[in-house]
Amino acid sequence: MFKIKIVDLLNEKGIQLNLKAKNKEEVLKELIDILEASGQLSNRDDFERAVLERENNFSTGIGMGVAIPHGKSNGVKEASIIFGRSEKGIDYQSMDEAPAYIFFLIAVPADSNNEHLNVLSQLSRSLMHSEIREGLKNAKTAQDVIGIFEQ
């Protein structure tokens, strides 16, 4: 079985190292804006609804300064990951109640199998390592971010 890797779903157009958002709602909108600009959405409203519904059920702020919002929707053309970083940190109602600085938005088509759960699991495991989180916080370029996941 073919296993999708994190690096396969990241690209430079989908990486924003200086998010302008000041709150959870704004960060979700900004990440979805980046996804839409990269040409990965056929129906933004449908995807945004899926992400917000997930957030309303439980926050995807996993703690340690990280949030991984995600959605499965007919509005997504192909699986992708958007990376965003906030210098100031955002109150994301994370499990540990600390601000989030690092954001990964996972978008998958509605008809895909549960591959996004595999990607979510890979991402969560990677982000448990403080050196990965520090590398992402200190990345100077989009290529630096991609390089962290190429190892």
Confidence check: pLDDT of 119 > 90: no
In which domain, by residue range, is 113 found? 13-149
Residue 96, pLDDT > 70, answer yes
Q: Give residue-wise pLDDT tens across range 61-78.
A: 999 999 999 999 999 999
**pTM summary value:** 0.94
Rounded (to 5) percent helix, strand, coil in the chain: 45, 25, 35
Indicate whether 8 belongs to any domain: no
Number of domains in the chain: 1
Q: Is 70 a catalytic residue?
A: yes
Catalytic one of 70, 72, 85, 116:
70
Look at residue 1 in the predicted model and tell me its pLDDT. 42
Indicate whether 5 belongs to any domain.
no
Examine residue 6 and state whether it is found in any structural domain, yes or no.
no
Taking 50 as the threshold, does the pLDDT of residue 18 lie above it? yes
CATH number reported for the structural domain that contains residue 110 in this entry? 3.40.930.10
